Amino acid sequence: MLSKSTSRALTKWTAINERIIEARFTGRQAKLTEVVCLAPTNDADDRTKDNFYNTLQAVTKDIPSHDLVCFVGGFNAKVGSDYYPEQ
């Protein structure tokens, strides 16, 4: 749900796939491209992870260079001192 002013600023949105959405907004001072994504977990097979990151890279490459860019989402990182990968 967007406010009226944000809705007017939205110039384009594209559902790239089930994990990545791209939205472009035009403001008074600048244009903003927002990429919303949900990365596969480390438990996913390598093909799924590679496909996600290759698609994300292609989307990023197509963003106009003068746009402000914001990435939002879950990259499924594991953080903290108590995380030890299985050996």
Condensed to tens digits (0 to 9), the pLDDT of residues 16-28 reads 999 999 999 999 9
Residue 3 lies in a domain: no
d(CA 13, CA 23): 4
Residue 24 lies in a domain: yes
pTM of the model: 0.80
Residues 25-39 have pLDDT tens digits of 999 999 999 999 999
- Adjacent-strand bridge partners of 12: 24
Q: Is residue 53 part of a domain?
A: yes
Neighbours of 73 (CB within 10 A): 15
Q: Report the chain's mean pLDDT, rounded to a whole number.
A: 89
Domain hosting residue 51, numbered range: 9-74
Structural Rg of the chain based on CA atoms = 16
| 66: DSSP letter | T
pLDDT at 53: 93
Nearest by Cα to 74 from 47, 35, 16, 44: 35
pLDDT digits (tens, 9 = 90+) for 43-53: 899 999 999 99
Residue with tokens 């944000």: 6
Number of domains in the chain: 1
